[in-house]
A and B are shown apart, each in its own frame.
Chain A
Amino acid sequence: MRNIEYPNMKGTYLGEFEELILLTVASMAEDAYAVTIKDEVQIIAGRKVNISAVHSALYRLERKGFLTSNFGGATQKRGGKKKRYFHVTNAGYEVLRIAKDMKEQLWKNIPQLSIVTY
């Protein structure tokens, strides 16, 4: 296990891509490692991403404490290398929730669309 720094106020900021990745990991529940996350993002968001960008985001999120990881499942396909499975931490869910609330608040504030409710 890598050292994890505790999130601080500065660290709660989420970039758009980071949020997307974090959400994807949250939605995948199981079998979330870089390659599958990348595929999932491609399917859901419909945009091509490079694996290095996914790595970058994942490790940054891990450092911020929104993700945690454990090793498992080496396959021959991977040249015998282990996979790093990611899971969303409580802090991760919290920051996603904050982001969602903030957006909903903003949506509510838009006058024309105020009739739309969940």
Chain B
Amino acid sequence: MNTYRGDSKPPGIGTFLLRKIYDDDLFDDVSGDLQEIYSNKVLTHGRILASAFYLIDVVLSVRNYDLKSRKKITQNNSIPMFKNYLKITLRNISKNKIYSGLNIIGLALGMAACLFILQYVSYERSYDKFHENHEDLYRVRYKVYRNGELNIDCAAAVPRVGPFMKEKMPEVRAFARAYPTSGVVTYKETKFREERMHIADPDFLKIFTFPLIEGDVETALAEPNTVVISETAAKKYFGNTDPIGKMMNVDGEHSVSVTAVAKDVPNNSHIKFDFLISYETLNNQTRNDDGSSSSETAWGWYDFNTYVLLEPGTDIADYDTRFAEYLWDERGETFEKYNFKAEFPLQPITDIHLYSNLLQESEPEEQGDGDAVFFLTIIAFFILLIAWINYVNLSTARSIERAKEVGIRKTMGAYRKQLIYQFISESFILNLIAMILGLGIVVLGIKNFNQLTDSQLSLQFLLDPVFWIVLVAIFITGSVFSGLYPAFILSSYKPVSVLKGRLSAGRSGNYLRRILVVFQFAASITLIAGTIVVYQQLGHMKALDLGFDMTETLVVKGPDVFGADSLYESTVETFRNELLKNPEIGQITASSNVPGDEIFWTNGIKKHTEGRDSYKIIYNVGIDYNYFPAYDIEILAGRNYGPTFTTDTGSLILNEAAIPYLGFESAEEAINQKVTFWGQPKTIVGIVDNYNQMSAKAEVSPIAFPLVLRASSYYTLKLKGDNYQSALEKVQAEYNGFFPGNPFDYFFLDEFFNRQYNNEQKFSRVFTLFAGFAIIVACLGLFGLSSFSALQRTKEIGIRKAIGANIRNIVFLLSREFVILVLIANVIAWPAVYFIMDNWLNNFANRIVIGLPVFLFSGVLVILIAIMTVGYKTVLTARSNPVNALRYE
């Protein structure tokens, strides 16, 4: 019976809105009126116009909205009651300034800490999410198994796999490769060494969201010898002139023309570039006689970051299995022949920053740590929890003071529900004040936080709706959570007993309060002990004998631009001799890598006697005669290369790790054995100590040190004396003289090497900061609690003193309970610390063992802090004159 004619029901949206505008009792007849008009109009004007008029009528009805709200107000009196709650809350705050202050400051600190961490965490998790296609973008990993053992697990794949996937797998919409490189870029007089340089496929700019400011995405990287530069690079080289079409020079060899300018890569991208050179440029350089290019066909050259864009909703496990079959069809023969197996599993690009720690990551120093982020999230939650516990503790402890108020309110006719509302709204008000303070701390402290944690948070987040949603969620949860328990306790008092004053002091919730205090301190101890372990591990790694000397070591980047190749060796020789004339310079060595620099150069190696199937991959560091002496690396067996040994082109030096790797019994046995390396037989002449080529975090990999006199990537100079500045100037002058056209780039090796610990250092600083936050907040609570309990026992103390107790007895009496609680907290925290931190330490090849001192130290520290916190008020109470105490009534 709802419709007049089957087809004349007015638009539902209008009726829906109408229901919002009017109260139930008005809605019925008003909507009836509108519908009647509509029905009339359907007959005269047709349905469409009638619907339009209906909607207009509905919209105009908004003017009657006040009929609704005004009526509501007249119906109940909760607003005046809430005004009363607000007033009482504010009075309570000003009446007990210390407790309220402790409460609010604790909450504010907790919220600030939580907001900082959430910002940090959300930044870490935002990596690569700015790509429009981020959900369907994957990086192709490269895994090689030899004899069933994982040999290589690399972020960069081989050039052929991208096109091959596109051919075989229908889900692949597009692929792009990026080959990381570096070089000296020159434009007119401006020259810099550029590290953020990739050689990229044309589709690179299409599958990723790196918008162009100038130029066309379709054509930008299509032609050989073209380059796309970032906004920053454009400013750096071209100032305000238009870069499009200008020719730049790379390494003095290749001229490339600028086809597009891209917006700078956001900080939260796992791959960063200032220069993108077209892939065809590389193809032209690697052209074989038959016209194909190795950079298109090679299956073994793994330097190519390969990304694929898949159809939405592709099942990756299934994809990997199916691709493995195609791969076997194509490569199975080779795999069997050489006894190895390669895999190309996909990895979501959004996982790269936090959950990937492979060889040849695009930005290895920047790699985040998913575990650390997870830990921090938990810490944030804990700090907040501690602050909320404070609130619960202090409010229940003070319940006796509020009991009379509750009694009066109940006698005056308040329902229990109303009292619960009252205390929850009180909690809302305190939380609101705390939240505003907390936000203030975040806004003021964000710079310091950035400095401390070496992160790049900005106040931009204040504009982010998600942030506000989270904030409001925290606020509401916290208010309700922390307000609920006190509200129920307080509202449960029976007016008769309360008003008669028969309520025993603070008995209710005593047990719970103790549990909460134990929990707070267990959390604080865990954080403190965790921080100590992180610091110890860092110190351990830094103090570790790395097997080489990196003090007073200056490293200069070798020249990329060099005119006549044939003259290179003799030029380097003269350069060296000139420099060695300076008394400040002790040693000079040229090499393809320096310690702390990830080795990208690998080759196959096997015992000469073995067949082709036993080739193994080994890292290469090309060195000259002076490398080992300069770095003070110990030679365990055999000898160093020497200019006097004319046969040294056929010699090879290995590190100790390579001995078992290649199947030799001992260093001595390996000497004078022959291996096949670079396809030629080489005699092992020396074995060097396993010095830490990379950080002490990982095991030392097997490395071969071929004699490469042309090695030019780095010149290492050992400095003598204190005057680094003058030495540096002399080196620069010589360098500029010998290698014109090359920028002088240098670094000190210790700084360079230790940057590998940046992540751990950052982690430890963040850890310390928040352990500090946690302990402060917990102490605020303890202080409030203990001073309150002292206050309640004033009379008892007075009597005890009158009878003859001394101050020490009293202090002992008052602190005992809290000290016992903190001791229990220790017992709980220690196993937790051991379990968590032992797990963390397992990430390191060189790890410390967690000793008892860590626990004792953190335990004693927390107990001392607790005693000091409790002590202040207790001593004051204990010293007070018993007369005053007993006159308390």
A binding-site residues for B, Cβ under 8 Å: 2-3, 33-35, 50-53, 55-56, 59, 71, 74-84
Closest Cβ neighbor of B70 among chain A residues: A63
- Measured CB to CB, the closest approach of chain A to B35, in angstroms, equals 4
Query: What are the 4 A-B residue pairs with the smallest beta carbon separation, nearest first?
Result: A81-B32, A84-B29, A78-B32, A52-B60
List the one stretch of B61-69, B170-178, B689-697 in contact with chain A: B61-69
Closest-CB distance, B512 to chain A (whole angstroms):
48
In the assembled complex, the Cα of A110 lies from the Cα of B138 at a distance in Å of: 90
Cβ 8 A contact of B29, one of A3, A52, A56, A71: A71
Asked if A56 and B35 sit within 8 Å, CB to CB, the answer is no
Report how far A71 CA is from B30 CA in the complex, Å.
12
When each residue 36-70 of chain B gets 1 if its CB lies under 8 Å from chain A and 0 otherwise, what string results? 11011000000000000000110011111001000
Cα separation A43 to B196 with both chains bound (whole Å): 81
Q: Is the CB of B26 within 8 A of A53?
A: no
User: Assuming the A-B contacts A50-B57, A52-B57, A55-B64, are A33 and B4 also in contact, with contact meaning beta carbons closer than 8 angstroms in the complex?
Assistant: no
Q: Is the CB of B63 within 8 A of A79?
A: no
Q: Are B31 and A79 in contact (CB under 8 A)?
A: yes
- B613 on the interface (CB 8 Å rule)? no
> Chain A's nearest CB lies how many Å from the CB of B351?
56
Min CB gap A84→B, angstroms: 4
Rounded to whole angstroms, the CA-CA distance of A52 and B18 in the bound complex is 11
- Expressed in whole angstroms, the Cα–Cα distance for A85 and B28 within the complex equals 13
Pick from B3, B25, B63, B74: contact of A52, CB under 8 Å: B63
B2 at the interface (CB under 8 A from A): yes
A residues near B28, Cβ cutoff 8 Å: 81-82
Residues of B within 8 A of A50 (CB): 56-57, 60
Q: Does B60 lie within 8 Å of A79, measured CB to CB?
A: no
* B4, B25, B36, B39: the one within 8 Å of A2 (CB): B25
- Flag if A74 contacts B32 (CB, 8 Å): yes
List, in ascending order, chain A residues with CB within 8 A of B31's CB: 79, 81
The answer for the CA separation of A75 and B3 in the assembled complex, in Å, is: 10
Q: Is the CB of A56 within 8 A of B63?
A: yes
**Chain A residues in 8 Å Cβ range of B57:** 50-52
Q: Quick check: A35 and B37 within 8 Å, CB to CB?
A: yes
Q: What are 16 A-B contacts with C-beta separation under 8 Å?
A: A3-B74, A33-B29, A50-B56, A50-B57, A51-B57, A51-B60, A51-B61, A52-B57, A52-B61, A53-B60, A55-B61, A59-B26, A75-B36, A78-B36, A79-B32, A81-B35
Contact B1–A80 (Cβ < 8 Å): yes
CB pair B32 A82 closer than 8 Å = yes
Looking at chain A's contact residues, the main secondary structure is mixed
CB distance from B76 to the nearest CB of A (A): 13
Contact across chains for B29 and A83 when beta carbons are under 8 A apart: yes
Q: Contact between A55 and B33 (Cβ–Cβ < 8 Å)?
A: yes
Q: Assuming A51-B34, A51-B37, A82-B29, what are 17 further A-B pairs, CB within 8 angstroms? A: A34-B33, A35-B33, A35-B36, A51-B33, A51-B60, A52-B57, A52-B60, A52-B61, A53-B60, A55-B30, A55-B61, A56-B63, A59-B67, A74-B32, A79-B4, A82-B28, A83-B33
| Listed residue (B26, B33, B40, B61) with the most chain A CB atoms within 10 angstroms of its CB | B33
Residues of B with Cβ closer than 8 Å to A? 1-4, 9-10, 25-26, 28-37, 39-40, 56-57, 60-64, 67, 74
Chain A: which residue is nearest B60 at the CB level? Answer: A52
Find chain A residues with CB under 8 A from B35 CB. 77-79, 81
B33 near A78: Cβ-Cβ < 8 Å: yes
The CA-CA distance from A85 to B767 in the complex, in Å, is 73
CB B133 to nearest CB in A, in angstroms, measures: 49
Give A29 to B37 CA distance when docked, in angstroms.
21
Q: Is the CB of B30 within 8 A of A34?
A: yes
Bound-state CA distance A2–B626 (Å) is 102
* Residue contact B29 to A81, C-beta cutoff 8 Å: yes
Q: How long is the Cα–Cα vector from A77 to B10 in the complex, in angstroms? A: 11
- Residues in B with CB closer than 8 Å to A71 are 29
Q: Which residues of A contact B9 (CB under 8 A)?
A: 79
Chain A positions within 8 Å of B25 at CB level: 2
> Closest CB-CB distance, B19 to chain A, in whole Å?
12
B27, chain A: closest CB distance, angstroms: 9
The minimal Cβ–Cβ distance linking A111 to chain B, given in whole angstroms, is: 41
Inside 8 A of A78's CB, which chain B residues have their CB?
A: 4, 32-33, 35-36, 39
Least CB distance, A17 to chain B, in whole angstroms? 12
* Minimal beta-carbon separation of B299 from chain A (angstroms): 74
Minimum distance in angstroms from B55 CB to a CB of chain A: 12
Cα–Cα, bound, A37→B29 (Å): 14
Contacts of A53 in B (CB 8 A): 60, 63
**B10 contact set on A, CB distance < 8 A:** 79
Report if A77-B29 is in contact (Cβ < 8 Å); known contacts: A50-B57, A52-B64, A56-B64.
Answer: no
Chain B contacts for A77, CB-based, 8 A: 4, 35-36, 39-40
Chain B residues within an 8 Å CB radius of A84: 29
Give the chain A neighbours of B26 by CB distance below 8 A: 59
CB distance from A96 to the nearest CB of B (A): 23
Q: Given contacts A51-B37, A83-B32, A84-B29, is CB(A76)–CB(B67) below 8 Å?
A: no
A79, B30: Cα distance in complex, Å: 12
> Which of A35, A76, A79, A84 gathers the greatest number of chain B CB atoms within 10 Å?
A79
Could you tell me if A33 and B39 are in contact, using CB atoms closer than 8 angstroms?
Answer: no
What's the minimum C-beta distance from B25 to chain A, rounded to whole angstroms? Answer: 6
A82 to chain B, nearest CB (A): 6
- Closest-CB distance, B71 to chain A (whole angstroms): 9
Contact A79 B29 (CB under 8 A): no
